[in-house]
Homo-oligomer: A and B are copies of this chain.
Amino acid sequence: MILARIQKLSVAIPENLAEMLEEEIIFGRIKSQERLTEEMVAERYGVSRSPVREALRLLERDGLVVREARRGIWVSPMSQRDFDEIYMCRIPLEGLIARQAAESDHPDKRAEYDTLIADLKEAQAKNDVRQFFIADVRGSFIHYTLAQNKTLMRLLAGLEKQALRYRFHAYEQNPKIIQLSLEDTTRICEAIIEGDGEAAQKLTEKLIHEIWQTMRTGILDSFGRG
C-alpha cells in the first residue's frame, strides 16, 4: 500500500512543512523579507497553527527566517555581510567534514561518490539547476554519513541551507558559476575518495575560499554592503 507508506512518511508535519518552506525560500519563490504569518501558512497547507509554529522554529534555527517576539516572522534578509559570515564559517567546517569523510573506510564510498559525480555532470549537461542542487545536497549527505560526526552535521545543516540561497541567486545572475561549483564539488569528492584526510581538508578549504571570492562581487552588486 503505497499511500499508507506516504502517509507514514509524512507523519512529521512540522519537519515536512519546514522542508517545503525551505525550498520556497531557497529558490526565491518566497522572497527575502516577506512576512510569514502563522495563520497564512497554516491555511495554505491545510493544518493548524501548532505544527506551523514548530516548523517556523526549525526555519529560525537554520537562519532562514528571523523572528521578533510578538511581532512576527520574516524571511531573513540577504546581504553581503551575511554571505561573508556564512562562507567564513563554512571554510573550516566543510574542511573538517571532508577530512573525516576521507578518513572513513566505508566499503561503498567510491561507488556512492561515482554515482553522485555522474548525477552532477548530468544535471550540468542538461543545465538543470534544480537537479544540480538536489545532487549537491545529496553529496553533503554522503559526507555526513561517512564522517559520522553528528555535531558537525548539526552545525553545517544550519549553514548550508542559507548558503544555498546565495548560491542559487549567484547561478541566476551568472550561470557560469554552476560550472565552477560542479568542478569544485567533483574535485572535493575525488580527494575524499583518495583517502588522504589532510589533503582533502586543505583542498576543500581552498576551493570554498576561491568560490567565495568569485561569488562575492555579484553578491555585492545585488545586495550592497549590508
Let me know if B158 and A88 touch, CB within 8 A.
Answer: no
A11, A57, A69 pick with most chain B CB within 10 angstroms: A57
Closest to A92 in B: B92
Residues in B whose Cβ lies below 8 Å from that of A159: 151, 155
Is the C-beta of A61 less than 8 angstroms from some C-beta in chain B?
yes
Query: Could you say which of B53, B61, B89, B154 contacts A151, with CB atoms under 8 Å apart?
Result: B89
Let me know if B89 and A155 touch, CB within 8 A.
Answer: yes
Let me know if B69 and A11 touch, CB within 8 A.
Answer: yes
Residues in B whose Cβ lies below 8 Å from that of A89: 93, 96, 151-152, 155
Task: Bits for A158-175, please: 1 = Cβ < 8 Å to B, else 0.
Answer: 110010000000000000
Question: From residue A16, how far is it (CB to closest CB) to chain B in Å?
Answer: 12
Q: Which of A79-101 contact B (CB under 8 A)?
A: 82, 85-86, 88-89, 92-93, 95-96
This chain: copies in complex: 2
Q: Which of A48-105 contact B (CB under 8 A)?
A: 53-54, 57-58, 61, 63, 69-70, 82, 85-86, 88-89, 92-93, 95-96
Q: How far is B58's CA from A53's CA once the two chains are assembled, in angstroms?
A: 13
Let me know if B53 and A85 touch, CB within 8 A.
Answer: no
Let me know if B152 and A88 touch, CB within 8 A.
Answer: yes
Is the C-beta of A150 less than 8 angstroms from some C-beta in chain B?
yes
Closest to A153 in B: B85
| Contacts known (A53-B54, A57-B57); A151 close to B86, Cβ less than 8 A | yes
Let me know if A82 and B151 touch, CB within 8 A.
Answer: yes
Q: How far is B82's CA from A68's CA once the two chains are assembled, in angstroms?
A: 33
Query: Could you say which of B61, B86, B151 contacts A85, with CB atoms under 8 Å apart?
Result: B151
Let me know if A151 and B63 touch, CB within 8 A.
Answer: yes
17 contacts between A and B (CB under 8 A): A12-B69, A53-B54, A63-B154, A82-B150, A85-B149, A85-B150, A85-B151, A85-B152, A88-B149, A88-B152, A89-B96, A89-B152, A92-B92, A92-B93, A154-B158, A155-B158, A158-B158
